[in-house]
Amino acid sequence: MRTMTDVLDPAAAQAGVRQLATFVVDGLLCGVDVLTVQEVIRHQTMTPVPCAPRVVEGLINLRGQIVTAIDMRRRLGLPERPDALLSMNVVVRTAEGVVSLLVDEIGDVVEVKPDWFEVTPDTIGATVRTVIDGVYKLSGRLLFIVDVERIASVEGLGD
């Protein structure tokens, strides 16, 4: 059975190369499978959600579709975003629907090879480890692989 990755780049799929959409959160280079990304948009006005977990920044209206916006800094237990830095939206598809990940900046789509993959290092904090599938070693930098299903699961996070 052919996958969407096979259609996008059959040679890369054959070699086990993975395409990741990247973004930066408080200096961390993160990535999600490019096929989960619906779109990337600049900062949007949000409607707050009373009594929602602290990681839920609010709701955005995406051409009539109401989308939950999750602050990636809060979700990863990182310092708050400076007021002068407007977030960007990486809109991803999950099993439960569409969610927007609020990030500091958008990166590129990168191709990574299987032999660059490493399990998440033990030195990474527990909060980050719960939503990271592992890392890819790039030249001089680690690329954290974000599990969009676990990121979007905010039940039980409380305030």
| Average pLDDT by stretches of 10, the chain with 159 residues | 44 76 96 96 94 95 95 95 94 95 97 94 88 92 94 70
Look up the pTM and report it: 0.86
What is the per-residue pLDDT for 121?
Answer: 86
* Domain contains 2: no
What is the per-residue pLDDT for 10?
Answer: 57
What is the per-residue pLDDT for 103?
Answer: 98
* Domain contains 81: yes
* Torsional class of 145: left (φ above 0), alpha (ψ -120 to 50), beta (otherwise): beta
Q: Where are the alpha helices (DSSP H) in the chain?
A: 4-8, 10-14, 72-75, 126-129, 148-152
* Domain contains 159: no
* Domain contains 40: yes
What is the per-residue pLDDT for 158?
Answer: 54
User: Structure tokens of 120?
Assistant: 């998440």
What is the per-residue pLDDT for 5?
Answer: 43
* Domain contains 8: no
Q: Which domain holds residue 78?
A: 17-152
